[in-house]
Amino acid sequence: MDELIFSQPDNFKHQKQRLFRGGISHLKVLADFDGTLTTNFIHGRKAPTLIGALREGNYLSADYNKKAQDLHNYYKPFEDDQNIALDDKKALMTEWWYKHFQLLIDSGLSEENIADVVDNRLSNLRPGVPEFLSLLAKNNIPLFIFSASGLGISGLKYYLMKRGLWSENIILVANDFIWGENGKAVGVKEPIIHSFNKDETMLVKIGVDEKFSKRNNIMLLGDSLGDARMDTGLAAAAILRIAFVNDKIRESVSAYREVYDALILNDGDFSLPLKILKEIIDYAD
């Protein structure tokens, strides 16, 4: 199978032209974190998410693994079921995330655990991502990074700082633990971001922020079907949607074709988004 599919070639060209014409002053980038900025596989093995890494490293109390697996077994089929109405699915995902965060808290999750996982166990950025992030920073283009994972705002910031890529143009839209005095998680801030409400969360966080209202050209990067809707409510003038299709490619590619303009298959690198960004920057010169 080709590594790159232009699923909606006419729209891709059209939107790209509009991004070029709008230039860097009208651009913002919305990107998912896990599986989009980071690789999905390491040495042919599925890269652990924060939660997977916590599990593998036995950081938490003994019954965490079983209880988390029970939650996964119960809720995961709902997440994948294309026939469940979106509102019902959102309610189920909220329930799953909430129960899981409560389990993490009950199991003794600490800030130190998160730092240790970031240092030793998490997947890498895709080739091309460091350059992509540096160019955004250099040109002061806002980058919204979405993560529904348990890494949280402090974990994501730590991850990027460790790689010398943290910068002021980055806005993190992620869950955020409340830490107690002993460094253990005691709660999680509302609203909880799960796999199907990144769009609403986006609105809450930045939809009304005047600073970004003129930047209505969007490059959207995701790796799930839900990610394609991260721009909901933002009234984009132009939007280019690019997906990394990492897993179960044969089964899922037709659904991705419907909602994304271009698909990068097989856990590919960041050269397409990087090329487009460079063209937008050069076009402005």
* Residues lying near Mg ion in the complex (CB under 5 A): 32, 34-35, 223
Least CB distance to Mg ion at residue 32 (A): 4
Tokens of 105: 């808290």
* Distance of alpha carbon 142 from alpha carbon 19, whole angstroms: 15
Q: Distance between CA 195 and CA 111 in Å, rounded?
A: 23
Kindly report the length of the chain.
Answer: 285
* In the complex, least distance from residue 146 CB atom to Mg ion, rounded to whole angstroms: 8
One-letter amino acid for residue 142 of the chain = P
- Provide, rounded to whole angstroms, the least separation between the CB of residue 241 and Mg ion: 14
User: Which residue number places its CB atom closest to Mg ion?
Assistant: 35
Between 223 and 267, CB nearer to Mg ion: 223
218: three-class secondary structure by DSSP = strand
Radius of gyration of the chain (CA): 19
Nearer to Mg ion, 22 or 35 (CB): 35
Cβ proximity to Mg ion, 7 vs 246, nearer residue: 246
The nearer residue to Mg ion, 67 or 205, going by C-beta atoms, is 205
- Sequence letter at residue 17: Q
The least CB distance from residue 149 to Mg ion, in Å, is 8
Distances in whole angstroms, Cα of residue 196 to Cα of each of 27, 187, 228, 232: 24, 21, 10, 12
